Structure 1
Amino acid sequence: MRRRPAGPGWPPAPPPPAWDGLSWQLSDVAQLPRMRAELRRWRIVCGLSDFRDRLLLVLDELASNALRHGGGQVQAAVRRTGDAFLVAVTDGDTSTPPTPAVDRDPAEGGLGLYLIVELSTAHGWYVDGDAKTVWAVLPPS
Structure 2
Amino acid sequence: MDMMSVDVVSGRLPGSIAAARDSTRHFLEGLVPSLTPEAAETVVLVVSELVTNALRHGGGTCALVLATGPNGIEVAVHDSSPHVPRVRTPDLNGGAGGFGWPMITRLSTSTAVTRRADGGKTVTALLPC
Matched, 1:115 2:106: no
Partner of 2:46: 58
Identify the residue that residue 105 of structure 1 maps to in structure 2: 91
Q: Among 69, 72, 91, which residue is 2:79 paired with?
A: 91
- Per mean C-alpha deviation after superposition, the further-off stretch among 50-59 and 128-137 is 128-137
By how many angstroms is 1:134 displaced? Answer: 0.8
The alpha carbon displacement at 1:26 in A equals 1.1
2:7 corresponds in structure 1 to: 25
Describe the SS at the equivalent of 1:106.
coil
What stretches of structure 2 of length at least 5 have no aligned partner?
A: none
| CA deviation after TM superposition for structure 1 residue 47, in Å | 4.7
Amino acid at match of 1:44: L
Query: 2: distance between equivalents of 1:111 and 1:27?
Result: 24
Q: Gaps (5+ residues) in structure 1?
A: 1-18
Supply the AA of the counterpart residue of 1:139: P
The higher-RCO structure (CA 8 Å, 6+ apart) is: 1
Runs of 4+ in 1 over 3 A off after TM superposition: none
Tell me the TM-score normalized by structure 2: 0.83
Distance 2:112 2:35 in 1: 28
> How far apart, CA to CA, are the structure 2 residues paired with 1:135 and 1:106?
27
- Amino acid aligned to 2:16: Q
Identity %: 30
70-79 or 44-53: bigger deviation: 44-53
Give, in angstroms, the shift of residue 128 of structure 1.
1.6
RMSD: 1.8
TM-score between the two structures when normalised by the length of structure 1: 0.76
Q: 98, 120, 126: which one pairs with 1:131?
A: 120
Where do 1:39-58 residues align within 5 Å?
39-42=24-27, 43-44=30-31, 46-58=34-46
